[in-house]
Structures are given as C-alpha cells and as structure tokens.
Chains A and B, each alone.
Chain A
Amino acid sequence: MSALLRHRLTWPVLALVLLLLLNQLFRADFLSVRVQDGHLFGSLIDILRNGAPTILIALGMTLVIASRGIDLSVGAVAAIAGAVSCMYIYSSPDPTSLRTAATGVAIAVVAGLVLGAWNGFLVSVIGIQPIIATLVLMTAGRGLAQLVTDGQIISVSNDSYQAIGAGFFLGLPISILIAAAAFGVAGLLTRRTALGTLIEAVGINPVASRLAGLDARTITWTVYIFSGLCAAVAGLMISSNVTAADSNNAGLYIEMDAILAVVIGGTSLAGGRYSLVGTLVGALIIQTLTTTVYTLGIPPEATLVFKALVVIIVCLLQSSRARTLLGRRRRPVTEQSQVEVAV
C-alpha cells in the first residue's frame, strides 16, 4: 500500500480519475461512448482528439526536459508547420488531391526537423541556455509563420489533409492514433534501448556524461530535433482540425500546456529522471481540466486560472521543501543541496 502511495504515477492518475468522476457527476452521459456514423463518439473521445496535439508536443518536451533543457518554441513551430503545409496546398494546382496533402505534410515535417535542428544547434554547439536559445524561435517563429501566410488565415479544403486532425480510422480519431504511434516509437526507442538512459545521463550531469564517453552533443541535438518533429505534426493536427492555418493563434500557449503536462507527470524540470506514461497522464489531465470547465458551466475564460492553480499546487507538492514539511522523504533534500554545492 505504501509502495503504491509512493509510486510517482499514483497521484496524477488519481487526479485524472477524480476529474473524470467529477464530470460524470455533473453530466450523466459523460463517460458513455457510443458508435455514431461508424466511429466512436463521446466526451472521452473528444478529450483524446482535442488533447492529441498537446500529448504529442508534451512527448517531445519530456525528452528535452529529461536532458535538462526546455523547448519554448514548440507553439511557434506548430504555427509554422501549419502555415507551410496549408500554403503549399492552397497554392498548388491540385489542392484537393491526396498527393498534394502528402507533399504539404512532408514539407511541414521537414520544416519541423530543420527548426528543431536549429534549436539543437544553438543549445549543443553554441552552448546557449535552452530557455534563451528557444526563446529566439519563440519570438521570431510566429513572425515567420505570418511571413509564410502573408498575414492571412489560409483556408484549405482537402479531405485527406483534414483527416489528420478530424478524421477517424477503425472508429478512433486519427490524431490520437498518430500520437499513440509516436508514443509507442518513443517508448520503444528510449526504454528498450540505452537511449533513454543516455538522455537521463546527459540531463543529470552533461559534463560527467561527456567524460564518461557519451556523445552528449549529439544526444542533445537529437532531443531538440525530435521535439521539433512532434511540434510540426501537432501543428498539422491543429491546422487540419480547423482546415486553416492561423499563424497568430495556432498552438498559442501550447508550450505552457506541454511543460505543465510534463511536470504533472512527475518528470523533474532539473533534468534526469523522466516518465513518458506520466506525461501522457499529465496531458490527459490538462485536456480533461479544460473539458471540466466547460462541463461545470464555469466561463471558459477562467480555464487559465484553473491551470495556473494546478501548476502551482503540483509544483509545490513536488518541491523538496514541501515534502520535508510534510515530514517524509527527508533524504532527497540533503541530496539536492549537495548537488547544488557541487554545481
């Protein structure tokens, strides 16, 4: 029992379950899932579908944070990805074909990889602090997206493209299938190979990991490229869901949601230990929280206040000081202070 209480996923999962039950109390049909028009339909499916971009970006963010970094530019990268793909589809001679949609998607993915590589270059080669390095793209990125779309909201009507964010496959939303696939691949690559341990090693102590013979630079570079890729695909989902590229609002504040999901999931912002499943639960909590606000009839504008309160409470609970005050786990405090002295 105490082992269960101490497991780092216990509290996030409990919070998620409580949130879902709270919704069920206020809306009797909340947890029901039925089949309509050949696919699953219901609030739970909506949560999955709307949460897919956040889940995907949070996945990339988890690995970046595990390497003691942070990627603030994901929202801007998502906007750029949506902008380039919609612009390509919009200006192509055959804007409704599958081929055009596929090329647009490919362009967006390449853009995401390039932007991720740019962040990785600034962090790993030039050696700029991650917050600052990605701040550059966060500042300039939306400008770039507007440059691509010439400041307009570009609407496209391409069924194949629309399927990414709004389509269904085997009764499930395609967006959540993409996110699940990305999770599966990332999980296999980092947990079934040594890659995850290497990322954690870089996050715990970059210098020591380099001295131990790790190519810390390549690993850092890789996580930022992966984050860029996730952000680009999420950007495709967002723009495909509304069949338009909105450079100003696509993915606005999504970096905050992603970081929040990672933190709720129990990954330490100080780098090192990370949990992909925790991030998944964290992202679902955030999406459910947004839905809860609607269900309870609270003005949707107040969502931000709730999110802020959740971040504060979660961070306070995670801080070593609070744990000391609660009277358990005294040792991590001394460990941390030793690390600080060592740094």
Chain B
Amino acid sequence: MSVLTRTPAPLDRSRLSRLQGRARYAPTLATVGLFLAMFAVGAAMYPGFLSGQVFLNLLIDNTFLIVLAVGMTFVILTGGIDLSVGSVVALSMMIAASLLQAGWNPVAMIALVLLTGATFGLLMGLVIQVFEIQPFIVTLAGLFLARGLCYVISVDSITVTDPFFTSMAQARIPLVGKLFVSPGVVIALLVVAVAFYVLHQTRFGRTVYAIGGGESSALLMGLAVPRTKVLVYGISGVCSSIAGILFSFYSLSGYSLAATGLELDAIAAVVVGGTLLTGGYGYVLGSLAGVLVLGIVQTFISYEGTLSSWWTRIVIGALLLAFILLQKLFTRKVRLT
C-alpha cells in the first residue's frame, strides 16, 4: 500500500514528459491556430470570405510554394538552408517553356526538368558535404548560376502553347458541391503526403531529424550522415523543379525574372510552420500550414482593396520575426525544463 501512496512523484514526472512531448507540437499548433483565427477574422470582415472555395483557392494559388516549402523543410531540418530554390524554379520554367517551344513531348520534357533539378541539388549537396563549405554560400552560388542560366536560355518571356499544359492550366477537378481544385493542388498534396511518409516512416527521415538534432551524435550512432546531407539538397532540387512545372501550369510561360525572392517565401513558410531553423524539430504539415498563413495574408490584402501589394512583404517579414521570437522562447523553455 505504501508503494501506491508514494506514486505521485513518478506520476508528476510522466505528466511533465507528456507535456514536453506535446510542447514539440506547440509552434505548429500556433500556426494552425493563427490560420484559423485569420480565417475567422476574414469571415467576420468580408462577406463571401467564409467559403470552401476561398480556402481551396489558397491551395490553388500556392501549389508551387507548398512544394518548395516541403523541399525546404527537409533542408532546414538538417540545419542547412537552400537559397537557390527560387532560381531553380525559374530555370525549370525556362527549360520547360523553351523545350515545349522546340516541340518536345511534355512527358519527356518534365522528366528532363526533374532530372535537372535533382542534379542541380545533388551537386550543391556534394559541394557542401565534400568541401565542407557553408550551405548558405554554396546555395547562394546556385542561386546566381540558375538565374544566370535562365538568361542564357532566353532574356524574353516564352509563352507556353502546348495543349497538355494549357489543359492542365484550365482543368478543374470538381469536389462536393460547386467546389473545385486544380490538378496542381493534387500534385502538391501528393508531394506533401510522400514527404510526410518519408520523414516519419523511413530510416532516411529519422536520419534527417537526427542530423538536425546533432550531427556529430548522428555520425557516432553510425547513421549515413554524409549521404543524407547530400540527398536533402537533391530533394530540395527535385521539389524546386516540380514547383517550376506547377508554376508553368499556373502562368503558362517561362520568364527569367520569374520567382525572384520565392526562396524567402519558402523559408518564411517553413519557419512560420514551426520548423526550428537550427534543425531537428519541425513537421512538413506545419510547413503546409505556414504556406496557408502566407496565402491568407495575400488574400486579406486583395480583399482589402486599399492596401497595396507591398504590405504582403512587410506582413510576411513581421510574421517571420514573430515566429522566430516564438521559437526562441520555446527552445529556451525546453532547455530550462
């Protein structure tokens, strides 16, 4: 009996650890909460805001950003960063548009674009890993290189007239009622699902988290650290080229100056989604929520006709700061307990 009366202490500890377990979700839950709150505010302020289609349009308008954020999540989880994504998106669009203009088969073209993105990312990963140069500076060079290659392909905008692409741009997949999504949304959500599976159900995903948690520890545990670190940049490259294709579906053109600054949006989405920039903590679904928050900021600004477009950048910057401060607070709490 006396044993039972003494149980409160371990019980307390288990409650504490459960709290810590739940605290891991805190930043991501904060993002989801923020999104719901913003949606509620929007619904209260504007008639017609509270509709399923407004929500689905958030997905339709941000398919490429969702895919980019997924790739960026992998990189940031390992504690790295990929600044080249915006340029690789533009490069993919340019390759796609110019090859279609040259009469390529869309499927062969898409395969080549994905291969280019993967190669680009893997090469950057190799340089980072083998030569031990900071990811930031290598991907910065990647940003320059990809953007420069865009200009080499063409300075002018190339219009896409391929029937497959135009049909993808116009296609609407009907859901219940009058709701619909575009094929791009299906692809983007598929990418999210695959990324979720890879991060949480495979050895590779565990290694990604382990590297972010502590690279030397991961190495000492015998995990395939070098290979994984190279591969995450490859994944980011593939995601960038998928995003490029999705952007082409959306804009039906290729333009060298397209997607400038998109890397900032992607990083912002990942951070707002609750992934720690030091690596190790974060969820791909959080990044999806982060993209939706950025998307709803844009929707707000378009609904509020008087606000100009540059408010988007300022609000995204402010959100970024708020979530970084939140992260700071959150990590300090964890260390104290």
Residue of B nearest to A252 (CB): B260
Is there an interface contact between A311 and B277, defined as CB atoms closer than 8 Å?
no
- Residue with the greatest number of chain B CB neighbours at <10 A, chosen from A129, A144, A312: A312
Judge whether A263 is part of the interface by a CB distance below 8 angstroms.
yes
Residues of B within 8 A of A304 (CB): 144-145, 147-148, 151
- Report the Cα distance A143→B268, complex, angstroms: 15
Judge whether A301 is part of the interface by a CB distance below 8 angstroms.
yes
Judge whether A327 is part of the interface by a CB distance below 8 angstroms.
no
Residue of A nearest to B123 (CB): A312
Residue of A nearest to B136 (CB): A131
Residues of B within 8 A of A299 (CB): 151-152, 155
Q: A4-56: which have CB < 8 Å to B?
A: none
Judge whether A102 is part of the interface by a CB distance below 8 angstroms.
no
Judge whether A105 is part of the interface by a CB distance below 8 angstroms.
no
Which segment, of A108-116, A183-191, A274-282, A314-322, faces chain B?
A314-322
Is there an interface contact between B320 and A256, defined as CB atoms closer than 8 Å?
no
Is there an interface contact between B131 and A259, defined as CB atoms closer than 8 Å?
no
The smallest C-beta distance from B272 to any residue of chain A, in angstroms, reads: 11
Judge whether A273 is part of the interface by a CB distance below 8 angstroms.
no
Q: B277-300: which have CB < 8 Å to A?
A: 277-278
Is there an interface contact between A305 and B148, defined as CB atoms closer than 8 Å?
yes
Judge whether A127 is part of the interface by a CB distance below 8 angstroms.
yes
Residue of B nearest to A131 (CB): B136
Is there an interface contact between B267 and A135, defined as CB atoms closer than 8 Å?
yes
Is there an interface contact between A151 and B308, defined as CB atoms closer than 8 Å?
yes
Partner of B328, one of A127, A150, A309, A321: A127
- Report the Cα distance A259→B83, complex, angstroms: 14
Is there an interface contact between A126 and B325, defined as CB atoms closer than 8 Å?
yes
- Report the Cα distance A252→B111, complex, angstroms: 33
- Tell me the interface secondary structure of chain A in the complex: helix
Q: Answer whether A139 and B313 are a contact pair too, CB < 8 Å, given A126-B328, A315-B138.
A: yes
> Would you give the 0/1 interface string for B58-102, flagging 1 where the beta carbon is closer than 8 Å to chain A?
000000000000000000000001000000000000000000000
Residue of B nearest to A322 (CB): B131
Interface size on B, residues (CB 8 A): 45
Is there an interface contact between A140 and B147, defined as CB atoms closer than 8 Å?
no
Judge whether A155 is part of the interface by a CB distance below 8 angstroms.
no
Q: Can you list 16 A-B pairs, Cβ within 8 angstroms, ordered by A?
A: A131-B136, A132-B324, A135-B320, A136-B321, A151-B308, A151-B310, A269-B137, A301-B148, A301-B256, A304-B148, A307-B148, A321-B132, A322-B131, A336-B132, A340-B216, A341-B216
Residue of A nearest to B316 (CB): A139
Residues of A within 8 A of B320 (CB): 135-136, 139-140
- Report the Cα distance A303→B152, complex, angstroms: 10
Can you add 11 more A-B contacts, CB < 8 Å, to A142-B313, A256-B140, A305-B148?
A70-B136, A128-B328, A129-B277, A135-B264, A136-B324, A140-B316, A141-B317, A146-B310, A311-B144, A312-B145, A319-B131
Residue of B nearest to A321 (CB): B131
- Residue with the greatest number of chain B CB neighbours at <10 A, chosen from A256, A304, A322: A304
Partner of A308, one of B145, B264, B268: B145
- Report the Cα distance A309→B142, complex, angstroms: 9
- Report the Cα distance A299→B148, complex, angstroms: 11
Judge whether A147 is part of the interface by a CB distance below 8 angstroms.
yes
Is there an interface contact between A308 and B141, defined as CB atoms closer than 8 Å?
yes
Judge whether B314 is part of the interface by a CB distance below 8 angstroms.
yes
Judge whether B168 is part of the interface by a CB distance below 8 angstroms.
no
Is there an interface contact between B81 and A131, defined as CB atoms closer than 8 Å?
yes
Residues of B within 8 A of A132 (CB): 271, 277, 324
Judge whether B45 is part of the interface by a CB distance below 8 angstroms.
no
